[in-house]
Amino acid sequence: MLTLPEIINRIASARNDLTYEAVEKMIRERKSASDGLLTDEGAAYIVASELGVTLQESRLETRVTIKDLMKGANDVTITGRVLATSPVKTFTRSDGKNGKLSKMIIADNTGVISVALWDKNAEDAHQKRIHEDQIVQIHHGYVKEGLGKSLEINLGSRGAISVYNNEKSSNDFPTTKDFFRKIGKLEGNEKYACLIGVISQVLPVASFEKSDNRKGRVRRVQIVDDTGRIGLVLWNEKVDLVEDLKRGDWLQIEGANIREGFHGEKEAHLGTIGSIVILPEPLYKINEPILVLTKINEIKPNMANINVHAKAVKLNPTREISLQSGETGKLREITLMDETGTIMFVVWNDHLDDIKSLSVGDLVLIEGGYAREGIQGVALNLGKTGAVTINPEMSNATTL
């Protein structure tokens, strides 16, 4: 490790606009700002990084790569390219004091990881205008489990973040374009995925209440490309970014988190981190129709994301049932028929208003339904994530 005078000399030599004394003063101020948590040499390394001065003789080498990180690791210093950032949010801690938090996604050639910036580091990143595509160094972080039990670097009071300005090392880190994939190539549990597709289904915005009494909103959209389909789940502020989504719109999504959905299917979730853009024109022609219908005789137990176009031939009255949770729910059972057979269609709770005008003989389009084995055989269900339309205009549709 270099001595303090050696570090100061290297910085002053690399930066003709700074004297030895000026660099020495910057190091003292950086150490003082850390409340004694940094050594002289540690503060000097951070100052060098902030000034874009490389202290190694060779190309950039990080002590730790993302793939090497383990839960519980302390005093982690790591370098990566910023793929996405979130705004600074203020919250109230359990002791009544205010805290600040922002997040970013960084990547190196071994993986991708989320970084949580707390308090002064959140403000520091904001003031330095750290943004996508920059290479940053995370100093003195610690590793914990984040959402979905994925690893996350946390940067608290003893840590710091700096921009690493070294064009020679830029090629050592992936860029956003390296993360774009076709839908059919997406894998489960990806922390940062980018994709482009056309909307095949838009479901209404749903509101919910969290355990801490905060309210949230979610909207589900299904998108398709020439390799497959996937559900896109938009959370909270991302709902407002695309209020006028409609079938046939092309979307570019960056920074989605790929997870398992309610029924075991893959979903792309877009929350605070990540972006979504409606593209002005189609990028290419989708060979398959946007809406794919399933015939009734093809519906099997545990199928999900089922689209059915059929006639209502019997309507049962709405009734209340007791759920396993102890709560009371409402449902209505409708017998549907197409040229291949009949099936019981069960509409739950919030969607009951959508079928108030339904009559025997009406045609019904169910989008995003799921199948369950019941006492009377397989039933098609419509829950929160589905939609129903009475006597729809049908175009761009085909059967499986």
Q: What SS3 string covers 188-213? A: CCCCCEEEEEEEEEECCCEEEECCCC
Residues 76 and 37 reside in one and the same domain: no
Residues 81 and 169 reside in one and the same domain: yes
Residues 38 and 62 reside in one and the same domain: no
Cβ(174)–Cβ(105) below 8 Å: no
pLDDT of 61 reads 43
Among 176, 205, 227, give the residue marking a domain's end: 176
Say how far apart CA 122 and CA 88 lie, in whole Å. Answer: 6
Tell me if 284 is assigned to some domain: no
Residues 206 and 119 reside in one and the same domain: no
Residue 396, by phi and psi: left (phi above 0), alpha (psi -120 to 50) or beta? left
Tell me if 285 is assigned to some domain: no
Residue 121 CB neighbours (<10 A): 24
Residues 297 and 356 reside in one and the same domain: yes
pLDDT of 171 reads 74
Domain at 315, CATH number:
2.40.50.140
Cβ(362)–Cβ(304) below 8 Å: no
Cβ(74)–Cβ(123) below 8 Å: no
Residues 37 and 67 reside in one and the same domain: no
Which residues have a Cβ under 8 Å from the Cβ of 19 and sit 6 or more positions away? 12
Residues 121 and 226 reside in one and the same domain: no
Residues of the chain with pLDDT under 50: 57-62, 400
Say how far apart CA 340 and CA 399 lie, in whole Å. Answer: 12
Residues 302 and 233 reside in one and the same domain: no
Residue with the two structure tokens 């009951």: 352
Tell me if 95 is assigned to some domain: yes
Say how far apart CA 197 and CA 65 lie, in whole Å. Answer: 32
Residues 192 and 270 reside in one and the same domain: yes
Say how far apart CA 49 and CA 169 lie, in whole Å. Answer: 13
Among 176, 209, 227, give the residue marking a domain's end: 176
Spell out a b/e string for 246-255, using b for 16 or more CB atoms within 10 Å of the CB, else e. Answer: ebebbbebbb
What is this structure's pTM?
0.62
Tally of domains within the chain? 4
- What six digits make up the tokens of 353? 């208003």
Which residues have a Cβ under 8 Å from the Cβ of 91 and sit 6 or more positions away? 98, 99, 100, 101
Tell me if 18 is assigned to some domain: yes
- What are 95-131's pLDDT values in tens digits? 888 999 999 999 998 889 999 999 999 998 888 888 8
pLDDT of 167 reads 59
The rounded radius of gyration (Å) of the Cα atoms in the chain is 27
Cβ(229)–Cβ(223) below 8 Å: yes
pLDDT of 400 reads 46
Tell me if 237 is assigned to some domain: yes
Residues 263 and 308 reside in one and the same domain: no
For residue 23, what are the domain limits?
Answer: 1-55
DSSP string, 335-386: EEEETTEEEEEEEEGGGGGGGTT--TT-EEEEEEEEEEEETTEEEEEE-TT-
pLDDT of 148 reads 67
Tell me if 116 is assigned to some domain: yes
- What six digits make up the tokens of 249? 């719109």
Residue 214 DSSP code? -
pLDDT of 214 reads 77
Tell me if 286 is assigned to some domain: no
Residue with the two structure tokens 């690399």: 14
Residues 144 and 50 reside in one and the same domain: no
Residues 115 and 25 reside in one and the same domain: no
pLDDT of 195 reads 92
